[in-house]
A and B are shown apart, each in its own frame.
Chain A
């Protein structure tokens, strides 16, 4: 028995030892390895597909490079990124969010490489889109896309029922009971993930405060003083939406997919989500009577608010950065610059109807854009101001958690605006 036990343990150890591979290796088959850590795990659709296409193209053009991708979803990505930051073996090129809540900690720790803004002179980045990726005047990353938030609606459903697109917030709330009377939910909202509610609040803040939203909010977050009346006002307006029954019943427990499918299956007249969902109009799995009638409008104006209809909530969220201590830093920067050449990311993303890039994409219009795609471009190109980073992502990661929790509580009236504001200040 002793022999069996010893041999078994030995077998386990030997097997384990052979399973070990040398770490920190940077070459594979004579090629230089660039390790990419991405938050786009699905490499066959959407932005993950675009990223992978560009990597494949780069490897075909540069036979001496091997790009190895490790991809995790957002939550796991953020945990692993912390682990990477505390170890010695970081990847070379990483996905980042151009928001202080994510990026600041890594920049302060000296983990992110500084980029030369002159490299990007001809790249056509939309004005202000690099702000979230910069700190103290230095550039640390490049934005992948421009996101804006919208109400997607079913035009046919609106027409058949004589509902009109609301021009004011009051009209939006007045529309809710009419839609509910038809037996469907007015707006499908992903309340479970909380961030869409925080974006809704940002949307309201933009309409209340206009262009001063971001400057005021940055001040409020750094001082912990949220006494500016716009915060209480936005909270009250959100609670008015709850009173009017704007969102589907139990929205706070329903996630992204559930909310989206309410809209897709005709059980909700509108869907509050980001511009990346414009691809719904091309999704062959969606029934044609919904797919062909998807249109969009942005948050209507708020009475007495400083924001006009063309002040919109839009931001540049995800992007890429290079790790400062990467042994192949120059090659990683070269790859980063390649990704963002307008004929790569911008063109491929637009042609695949994946997202609006953060660069000028007007030259890549194909002529076969869907109506909703054209509508969103119009809204964006006619915008007199864009909000920049949404309020939940303007502070630290603790602030993000606290704000998102509170916004969900406000939306279901389990906390008063005043209590929420004092909780935020603490």
Chain B
């Protein structure tokens, strides 16, 4: 919208602003709700009101979430597992996308299809077979038992986005680089990867967010608290029949915070990346 238009259509701009504001409120409401209820007591929780004003603000929910929920240990584990998963997924996505879009070999399309098929496999179906494999390999209850499935379940999406973008990168640039004496890995690292920044950031964020809240695999493959991740914090407040929901909300607020911060920092790239994926996919 140009400056001229802005002055000519103040009403239109007002409507757009109002609509955007409305959407922002709708989008942000669950977060406000989460924080609001995380400061209430467990018995105030279920009410017909949308938001509540706690009789007494329960700041104590946060220290409980922090200490009894082993927040720091689980946060460290979550950050580590997720960062490693993102790094591995990015490296594998770029390499495999290059292999199936640029390299000419007999089974390139078949290999791509097989990896993409991974998107169809429900996590539940893999729990027990994977457990048996990890048990056999002796990697149960180690970092590998989370890293391997997280990478495996995120790779199809990563390959899909990376490959669809890579197909649109002009071959002439690569040819020019090769003529100048550039090797395959340098070509990937210095020429292609920087051009794919937006779509790779999308891969990165999707991998991060998908695995950040993952619990089913983590609860099956891990036994001791050494590598447990943040969703286990919520579990610490689950009784046999009922839960301390208020403290769980405090845990959820603390858990959501890093993911939200990362999203805010990278949101520009995500929107760009997803739009590109949508056009070129």
Q: When A and B form their complex, what is the total count of cross-chain residue pairs whose Cβ atoms lie within 8 Å?
A: 135
Contact B42 A48 (CB under 8 A): no
Nearest CB of A to B211, in Å: 15
B239–A79 CB distance below 8 A: no
Task: List A contacts of B84 (CB < 8 A).
Answer: 12, 15-16
Interface range, B side: 35 or more
Given the complex, which residues of A lie within 8 Å of B245, measured CB to CB?
257
Q: Given that A19-B227, A21-B141 are known contacts, is A257 also in contact with B243, CB under 8 Å in the complex?
A: yes
**A283 CB to nearest B CB, Å:** 8
Among B22-30, B108-116, B125-133, B255-263, the one that faces the other chain is B125-133
A88 to B134, CA, bound (A): 11
Q: Which residues of B contact A318 (CB under 8 A)?
A: 240
Cα separation A12 to B80 with both chains bound (whole Å): 11
In the complex, identify which listed stretch (A35-43, A101-109, A416-424) lies at the interface while the others stay far away.
Answer: A35-43
Inter-chain contact B216/A68, CB cutoff 8 Å? no
1/0 per residue, CB under 8 A from B, across A10-35: the answer is 00100110011111000000000001
* Contacts A20-B142, A87-B132 supplied; 14 other A-B pairs, CB < 8 Å: A8-B87, A19-B142, A20-B138, A20-B144, A43-B236, A72-B219, A76-B235, A79-B219, A79-B220, A83-B132, A86-B128, A260-B46, A274-B241, A285-B41
Chain B residues closer than 8 Å to A19, beta-carbon distance: 142-144, 227
Answer whether residue A217 sits at the interface, using C-beta atoms and an 8 A cutoff. Answer: no
Are A257's CB and B240's CB within 8 A?
no
Residues of B within 8 A of A (CB): 41-43, 45-47, 68, 84, 87-88, 91, 127-128, 131-132, 135, 138-144, 147, 183, 185-186, 188-190, 215-216, 219-220, 223-224, 226-227, 235-245
Interface residues of A (CB under 8 A from B): 1-2, 4-5, 8-9, 12, 15-16, 19-23, 35, 39-48, 68, 70-74, 76, 79-80, 82-83, 86-89, 91, 256-258, 260-262, 264-265, 274, 276-277, 283, 285-287, 318
Report the minimum CB–CB distance from A145 to chain B (whole Å).
10
CA distance A39 to B127 in the complex (A): 19
Give complex CA distance A23, B142 in Å: 9
Contacting pair A80 B220 (CB below 8 A): yes
Cβ contact of B128, chosen from A72, A83, A88, A256, cutoff 8 A: A83
Q: Is the CB of A262 within 8 A of B236?
A: no
CB-CB < 8 A to A22: which residues of B? 138
Query: Could you say which residues of chain A place their CB within 8 Å of the CB of B235?
Result: 41, 71-73, 76
A41-B238, A70-B224 are known contacts. Are A23 and B140 too (CB-CB below 8 A)? yes
Q: Is A48's CB under 8 angstroms from B128's CB?
A: no
In the complex the two chains form, is A1's CB within 8 Å of B190's CB? yes
Bound complex: CA A343 to CA B35 (Å): 43
Closest 5 CB pairs of A and B: A1-B189, A261-B46, A19-B143, A87-B135, A83-B131
Q: CB distance A88 to B135 under 8 Å?
A: yes
Docked pose: A25 CA to B237 CA in angstroms: 29
How many angstroms from the CA of A298 to the CA of B80 in the assembled complex?
53
8 contacts between A and B (CB under 8 A): A16-B143, A20-B143, A21-B142, A23-B141, A76-B219, A79-B219, A86-B131, A257-B243
C-alpha spacing A201/B143, complex, angstroms? 46
Say whether A16 contacts B144, CB under 8 Å: yes
Given contacts A20-B139, A87-B132, contact A46 B87 (CB under 8 A): no
- Minimal Cβ-Cβ distance residue in A for B46: A261
CA distance A19 to B188 in the complex (A): 30
With both beta carbons as reference points, the residue of chain A lying nearest to B42 in the complex is identified as: A285
Q: How far is the CA of A368 from the CA of B123 in the complex (A)?
A: 50
Asked if residues A73 and B238 are in contact (CB atoms below 8 Å), the reply is yes
CB distance B45 to A257 under 8 Å?
A: yes
Asked whether B91 lies within 8 Å of A5 as measured between CB atoms, the reply is: yes
Chain B contacts for A285, CB-based, 8 A? 41-43
Q: Closest approach, in angstroms, between the C-beta of A149 and any C-beta of chain B?
A: 12
